[in-house]
Amino acid sequence: MLAAITGDDLLQTGFSGVALGCKYALIALGFSIIFKATGVINFAQGAFVLIGAYFTYHFTQTWSLNFYLSIVLAMAAGALVGIVIEALVLRRLVNEAPVTVIMVTIGILFVLDNVVTAIWGPDNRNLGDPWGVDTRELLGVTLADRDMWTIAFTGLVLVAFYFFFRYSTLGLAMRAAAVDPEAAMAQGIPARRVYRVSWAIAGMVAALAGTTLAAGSGQLSPATGALALVAFPAMILGGLDSPLGAVVGGIIIGLVQQYTALLAPEYFDWVGESFERVSPYLVMIVILLIRPFGLYGTREVRRV
Amino acid sequence: MAAIAHAFRTGGPNRDLVLSYAEDVKLLRSPRRTPWRWVFLVASAALFWLLPTYFVGDPGLRVLAMCGIFAIGAIGLNLLTGFTGQVSLGHAFFVGAGAYTAAYFGGQRGWSMPAYLLLAALIGFVVGGVVGPFALRLRGNYLVIVTLGLVFLGQHLWSNWDSVTGGGTGISLGAAPMSIGPLDFKEGIELGGEAYTFEQSFFWLVWGLVALGALLAKNLVRSRPGRAMQAIRDRDLSAEVIGVSLARYKVGAFAWSSAYAAVAGALYGLLQQYVSPVEFGLFLSITYLAMIIIGGLGTIFGSVLGALFVWGGRSMIEQNSGQAIFDPLITTGSGEPGIFTIGEFNAVLYGLAIVLFLLFEPRGLAAFWFRVKSWFLTWPFSY
């Protein structure tokens, strides 16, 4: 017997899929900006997300600041974390093999994740956001306030990225350094500053991502950082070095997850419980086999 | 110094001079030429016998057996990552495949130990061979993320394939037979009229397999396939140009690596007597990567060293967490002083060890040994 799935259900799921996808997109944007500028896949991004969320929590709940001010402060603090990590560790690893850099960022992830747990404890907490579990109705679809804010934030970040890279001097320098670091340095572009800024931006975006992930009731716990792992398929899907790809990939993954959660128990329950946890990886593998550099990624040119 | 004296004495070429390829890849030369290697071999053999019988009690032997199990898996991962340059976060998946093979065929259907251990290796080999071709299409970072996905797909499979894996709660290996011929490892083997405990017997089983696995791996990497693998690691495009078949050696490396992982998984299940999906997560993969990085990428010896260091160190901290020196750091329960729980503290140490080794000693613990060796070999011109 099949329970009927109505058009409203599909629309509703579509909306929540996009909202979830935007959260992944925010995480993936942080990955892609570091990758684009420095060629590093930053596994510690999940820890940045976690730290950012706890910063927001700390500023609103412990220091009783305004929530939106807290977000801005958390983003600034997140940027600082990114800069410190870059200066302490990653700066020494320029031009190292990918495996070295990946493992170093995994090491950083372990340290940061557990330090966060040690500081703030393992319990679930309320972020203290004003959106809570409020919802509103539109065309028969229930829209959660926090989801709409997430979508708005993602749009905002994407637009900001566009203007930053298109019109600012630093953005231009970063694009040049991404295309060809040596030629950029020969033109007098300070590679160090480019690296530092990209880690700072990643830390900022991560704080925003963490805040949107932890919004709602009792959603903030050390496990929040693990969600960043689902952003990997999103980022890979879009292509590692493309901010637009990160957003498109994020939304695709969000939709895939929500629709498998809706449809799998009804139509293909043989795939097992909570299949939505792994469906992003399946989609990623299939797409990668067809397009090895993602949807918007730059094909790697290899010369002998 | 001895080398110089020898040259003066005989007037012939230095005894360390290698005259042919066959000589270069030789596993063992005469004790006169490589004395340290022989000392090492004799000492290992002595420890193999003396540790369980005289020096270490049963709890310690359990830890050492677990180190040996990790060493087997680490040798496998080193073949893939250290020698062929293919970074894999998916090792835990292959370890899980081996553990569940042992649990199903040994624990549920009562196959004999050699049979299910061989089957585990075979299943690991085949699964690795199926995953391997992904490495042909995807390189570097993309491959890492796909193997990361493999871990999650694996955990989903272990949690949902109830009839074989027992689902999310796990499955017992309590009924798995553990005897080879007349030697019953579960009850403790009897040798020369002397009965030994399970821990002693299992230590011998595991470290015997470590020796076998290390020898196999050493033979692999010192012969043609090993050279091909290292050529691929150093630059796969150049390797292809000089006639190395990428398809054959990348897939082969995956297959061998996961065969090792599967045997390690099967032994892990036997020692724990119970396996469940959560154990085969990303953390296990990263533990293995930490072992080969800390031990030394691209050395068989380093894999064993890394496993001993990481797992031995972890167990040592766990056993001593109540001691006064850890008081400011580790809390042993609510209300006890300390910043971290024991699990957190170990994870932080893993993280720090990985970062520090990669920053300051990227060739790992094995490099210390190489440095000492070359200091003595080049004496009195060491610098």
The pLDDT assigned to A288 comes to 82
Token couple for A209? 């991502």
Query: Does a structural domain hold residue A103?
Result: yes
CATH of residue B325's domain is 1.10.3470
Whether B362 sits inside 8 A of A100 (CB atoms) is yes
- Nearest by CB to residue B156, choosing from A115, A272, A288, is A272
Residue, of B80 and A238, whose pLDDT is higher? B80
pLDDT per residue as tens digits for the range A214-239? 887 667 888 877 778 888 888 888 88
B41 — contact with chain A (CB < 8 Å)? no
Domain count, chain B: 1
Query: Does a structural domain hold residue A254?
Result: yes
Query: Does a structural domain hold residue A164?
Result: yes
Tokens 């290698």, residue?
Answer: B18
The pLDDT assigned to B105 comes to 95
Section B286-293 average pLDDT: 91
Section B256-275 average pLDDT: 96
Whether B138 sits inside 8 A of A232 (CB atoms) is no
Query: Does a structural domain hold residue A132?
Result: no
The pLDDT assigned to B20 comes to 83
Whether A109 sits inside 8 A of B87 (CB atoms) is no
DSSP B275-310: E-GGGGSHHHHHHHHHHHHHH-TT-HHHHHHHHHHH
Distance CA A30, CA A38 (A): 12
Most distant pair of Cα atoms in chain A: their distance: 69
Section A2-6 average pLDDT: 66
DSSP A219-262: -BSGGGGGGGGGHHHHHHHH-TT-HHHHHHHHHHHHHHHHHHHH
pLDDT per residue as tens digits for the range B91-138? 999 999 999 999 999 999 999 999 999 999 999 999 999 999 888 888
Taking contacts as CB-CB distances below 8 angstroms, the residues of chain B near A241 are: none
Going by pLDDT thresholds of 50, 70 and 90, the confidence category of residue B305 is: very high
Lowest-confidence segment of A168-172, A235-239, B186-190, B379-383 by average pLDDT? B379-383
Bridge-based pairing state of the strands B179-180 and B183-184: antiparallel
Going by pLDDT thresholds of 50, 70 and 90, the confidence category of residue B3 is: low
- Nearest by CB to residue B148, choosing from A109, A232, A272, is A232
Range of the domain at B127: 56-377
Residue B256 has pLDDT above 70, yes or no: yes
Taking contacts as CB-CB distances below 8 angstroms, the residues of chain B near A288 are: 137-138, 142, 146
CATH of residue A58's domain is 1.10.3470
Q: Which residues 73-132 of B have a C-beta within 8 angstroms of A?
A: 81, 85, 87
* Non-local CB neighbours of B149 within 8 Å, separated by 6+ positions: A232, A233, A278, A281, A282, A284, A285
Distance CA B78, CA B91 (A): 11
Whether A110 sits inside 8 A of B351 (CB atoms) is yes
B146 — contact with chain A (CB < 8 Å)? yes
Taking contacts as CB-CB distances below 8 angstroms, the residues of chain A near B340 are: 114, 118
Range of the domain at A33: 14-122+141-290
The pLDDT assigned to A252 comes to 92
Query: Does a structural domain hold residue B15?
Result: no
The mean pLDDT value of chain A amounts to: 85
Q: How far is B199 from chain A (nearest CA, A)?
A: 32
Residue, of A225 and B80, whose pLDDT is higher? B80
Nearest CA in chain A to B352: A107
Query: Does a structural domain hold residue B24?
Result: no
Q: How far is B310 from chain A (nearest CA, A)?
A: 14
Query: Does a structural domain hold residue B151?
Result: yes
Query: Does a structural domain hold residue A296?
Result: no
The pLDDT assigned to B221 comes to 93
Distance CA B258, CA B73 (A): 8
Bridge-based pairing state of the strands B194-195 and B274-275: unpaired
Section B31-54 average pLDDT: 86
Cα-Cα-Cα-Cα dihedral of A265, A230, B356, B371, to 10°?
70
Taking contacts as CB-CB distances below 8 angstroms, the residues of chain A near B148 are: 229, 232, 281
User: Is the Cβ–Cβ distance between B63 and B243 less than 8 Å?
Assistant: no
B249 — contact with chain A (CB < 8 Å)? no
What are the two backbone dihedrals, phi and then psi, of residue B332, each rounded to the nearest 5 degrees? -100, 0
What are the two backbone dihedrals, phi and then psi, of residue B148, each rounded to the nearest 5 degrees? -65, -45
What are the two backbone dihedrals, phi and then psi, of residue B195, each rounded to the nearest 5 degrees? -95, 135
Before B52, cis peptide (omega within 30)? Answer: no
The pLDDT assigned to B95 comes to 97
Whether B85 sits inside 8 A of A108 (CB atoms) is no
Whether B142 sits inside 8 A of A292 (CB atoms) is yes
Going by pLDDT thresholds of 50, 70 and 90, the confidence category of residue B11 is: low
The pLDDT assigned to B317 comes to 85
Query: Does a structural domain hold residue B170?
Result: yes
Going by pLDDT thresholds of 50, 70 and 90, the confidence category of residue A304 is: low
What ipTM was predicted for this assembly? 0.87
Whether B345 sits inside 8 A of A104 (CB atoms) is no
Domain count, chain A: 1
Section B183-202 average pLDDT: 86
- Nearest by CB to residue B87, choosing from A35, A102, A272, is A102
Query: Does a structural domain hold residue A3?
Result: no
- Nearest by CB to residue A106, choosing from B140, B141, B354, is B354
Section B139-162 average pLDDT: 88
Query: Does a structural domain hold residue A83?
Result: yes
Report which of A267, A254, A276, A266 is spatially closest to residue A15, judged by C-alpha positions. A254
- Nearest by CB to residue B348, choosing from A115, A273, A293, is A115
Query: Does a structural domain hold residue A9?
Result: no
pLDDT per residue as tens digits for the range A132-176? 677 777 777 778 888 888 899 999 998 998 898 889 988 888 888
Distance CA B277, CA A258 (A): 24
Q: How far is B255 from chain A (nearest CA, A)?
A: 19
B347 — contact with chain A (CB < 8 Å)? yes
Going by pLDDT thresholds of 50, 70 and 90, the confidence category of residue A1 is: very low
Question: What predicted TM-score, i.e. pTM, was given to this entire model?
Answer: 0.90
Q: How far is A289 from chain B (nearest CA, A)?
A: 7
B164 — contact with chain A (CB < 8 Å)? no
B328 — contact with chain A (CB < 8 Å)? no
Residue, of A218 and A263, whose pLDDT is higher? A263
